[in-house]
Amino acid sequence: MERCGAVVSCVFAVILVLQLGLTPIMAQQEQQIGIAGKEVILSCKAINNQKDGTCTWKYKYKEVSSTIISFSKAQVFKGKAPMTHRSELNSNSKKLKVSDLSLDDAGIYTCACYSPVVSISLHVFKLTISSNGHFLTNEDLELTLMQNSSHSQPHLSIKLFNINNDIVTTEILQEEAPQKYILKLKQLKAIDSGTWMCHVYSNSPSINQNISFDVKVLGFEKERLEIIYTTVGNTAILSWRLNFRKIKWKEGFTGKLNWEPQGNTAIHELLNFSVTTHQELHKTKKSNHIWFEISEGKTDGTMDVKIPKVQLNHSGQYKCQLEINGRRTESVRALVVMQVTAIPAGPLSRGGKMTLLCQVSGPLPSNAHLLWERVNGTQMEMKKSKQHEAKVEVNVSAPGLWNCHLVEDNNKKISLNYTVEEAHVWNSYAVIGIIIGASVLVIGLACMCIITGMRWQRRRKRARRMAQAKQYLLEKKTCQCQRRMYK
């Protein structure tokens, strides 16, 4: 009986101790938030009262409890809790640091020296970014937010802030809420690279937490189609600036530059390139295209193509393409070349007509047109191209200076001159005079030649006769001859 009584009183004492222990837990429990992958520091405030003696950090989820670390003045004992190997104790402050948090670390953490016991409820959030936060331009981002705590989880309101601290509206999928939320961001741009913020809010329990995350969008500084206007014979430079240095992109990747000539379905590869993990750009120009030059720079991430003497047939689309693990993005420059021609070419004859044709190599955007303008002459004249027509012509019957402009949104982008010259009247007389003069000269020369020729022939005949006479004289007797001659 006595033994039995002792057991009962023992149980009693245990219950009493448990109750004494539990009451302060309820009274003092506070909440702390942890982010998966990061660390959290939990303070054991009671330590100030008791400098020596044994204290214990414990972890509890639902009904299961385990020791993380137990320590006295001189010694530290490691327990068997799941986060023990990631936990460190500050021997002065007795603060517990748990690093590389995971969702599983959510629960109640208690620090017990003597009462009162400090109890902290750790609420863990985990934010996962698709592709590990590494994207190419125009790709979509998916963000997954998960939470865990030993209590029931609250419904959260979530907001996203971009690198400029502006709120970004996103689609939020809540199928597995409140444990899991999925946020979608469409069509990232290179300028989205940087640190974003995910703001998590709940009223009860009170949560007001920012979770930052890094986004890297590999691409071009000017992503949109850019139209470069130039005139025949000019120098054109098409340029692309890759942002891999700016965003500190550490993976290697490759790319190429393709050219699709205007009005032609063929695709020509002009060059290819690779970027190393050390952020060095190596370009290789294809040898069969000699009409353009490339810049040599290795470190600045620019891709410049210089066309020294632009021809109409250089126009078209130039597409710079990046590739990484089968994913691609590109940025296009369209080269539009303007040319002015006169039909027929040359000066305008008196009373004659000529057609001045101004044209560009490709279709014009809807906000652009061509304009012929006479800037010097007897009267002001102007002619505008029809919508979507890449040429405009004027019929000219008087000399003057004509200017063709390519106008985009009322801005003159490029212009070309053509001066119509008159074939002057005195010029025609001079030409006739020269022709007549030349004819006279030719006839005169011909006569002289004939006369000289005749004289020469006569002289030859005489010489021949003299020779015949000489021979005759040699053959016959000289005296006889003499006699006959002086007769």
Ligand X SMILES: *[C@@H]1O[C@H](CO)[C@@H](O)[C@H](O)[C@H]1NC(C)=O
Considering only residues 173, 415, 423, 481, which one is a binding residue for ligand X as defined by CB under 6 A?
Answer: 415
- Interacting span for ligand X (CB under 6 A) from 10-18, 25-33, 390-398, 465-473: 390-398
Considering only residues 65, 349, 376, 411, which one is a binding residue for ligand X as defined by CB under 6 A?
Answer: 376
61: contact with ligand X by CB under 6 A: yes
Contact 356/418 with Cβ under 8 angstroms?
yes
At closest approach, how far in Å is the CB of 126 from ligand X?
Answer: 8
Nearer to ligand X by C-beta: 104 or 171?
Answer: 104
End-to-end CA distance of the chain: 207
Nearer to ligand X by C-beta: 221 or 373?
Answer: 373
Considering only residues 199, 327, 384, 413, which one is a binding residue for ligand X as defined by CB under 6 A?
Answer: 199
CA 254 to chain centre: 14
Q: What is the per-residue DSSP string for 78-146?
A: E---TTGGGEEE-TTT--EEE-S--GGG-EEEEEESSSSPEEEEEEEEEEEEGGGGEEETT--EEEEEE
Nearer to ligand X by C-beta: 171 or 176?
Answer: 176
Q: How far apart are CA 443 and CA 449, in angstroms?
A: 10
Considering only residues 157, 179, 195, 302, which one is a binding residue for ligand X as defined by CB under 6 A?
Answer: 179
Q: How far apart are CA 279 and CA 2, in angstroms?
A: 84
- Interacting span for ligand X (CB under 6 A) from 27-35, 48-56, 414-422, 460-468: 414-422
Tokens encoding 342: 């006169």
395: contact with ligand X by CB under 6 A: yes
349: contact with ligand X by CB under 6 A: no
393: contact with ligand X by CB under 6 A: yes
Nearer to ligand X by C-beta: 284 or 325?
Answer: 284
Considering only residues 302, 355, 397, 439, which one is a binding residue for ligand X as defined by CB under 6 A?
Answer: 355
Question: What does DSSP assign to residue 314?
Answer: G
Considering only residues 272, 295, 317, 321, which one is a binding residue for ligand X as defined by CB under 6 A?
Answer: 272
Q: How far apart are CA 40 and CA 34, in angstroms?
A: 6
Nearer to ligand X by C-beta: 314 or 319?
Answer: 314
Nearer to ligand X by C-beta: 47 or 160?
Answer: 160
Contact 270/291 with Cβ under 8 angstroms?
no
Q: How far apart are CA 75 and CA 54, in angstroms?
A: 9
Contact 396/355 with Cβ under 8 angstroms?
yes
Residue 308 preceded by cis peptide, ω within 30: no
CB within 8 Å of 434: residues ≥ 6 apart: none
Considering only residues 165, 204, 478, 480, which one is a binding residue for ligand X as defined by CB under 6 A?
Answer: 165
CA 412 to chain centre: 26
Phi, psi of 346 (to 5 degrees): 100, 180
At closest approach, how far in Å is the CB of 226 from ligand X?
Answer: 21
Nearer to ligand X by C-beta: 324 or 394?
Answer: 394
Bin 185: left if φ > 0, else alpha if -120 < ψ < 50, else beta: beta
Nearer to ligand X by C-beta: 221 or 393?
Answer: 393
At closest approach, how far in Å is the CB of 209 from ligand X?
Answer: 7
At closest approach, how far in Å is the CB of 68 from ligand X?
Answer: 13
CB within 8 Å of 242: residues ≥ 6 apart: 218, 219, 220, 221, 275, 281, 301, 302, 303, 322
Considering only residues 197, 294, 357, 481, which one is a binding residue for ligand X as defined by CB under 6 A?
Answer: 197
Interaction with ligand X in 275-304: which residues (CB under 6 A)?
A: 284, 291
At closest approach, how far in Å is the CB of 153 from ligand X?
Answer: 9
Interaction with ligand X in 305-334: which residues (CB under 6 A)?
A: 311, 313-314
Q: Which helix (H) or strand (E) holds 162?
A: none
Phi, psi of 429 (to 5 degrees): -60, -45
Interaction with ligand X in 140-159: which residues (CB under 6 A)?
A: 148
Considering only residues 46, 55, 101, 106, which one is a binding residue for ligand X as defined by CB under 6 A?
Answer: 106
Contact 202/154 with Cβ under 8 angstroms?
yes
Nearer to ligand X by C-beta: 61 or 249?
Answer: 61
Interaction with ligand X in 217-256: which residues (CB under 6 A)?
A: 254
In the complex, the residues that contact ligand X under the rule CB under 6 A are 61, 103-104, 106-107, 148, 161, 165, 179, 197, 199, 208, 210, 254, 272, 274, 284, 291, 311, 313-314, 355, 376-377, 393-395, 415-417
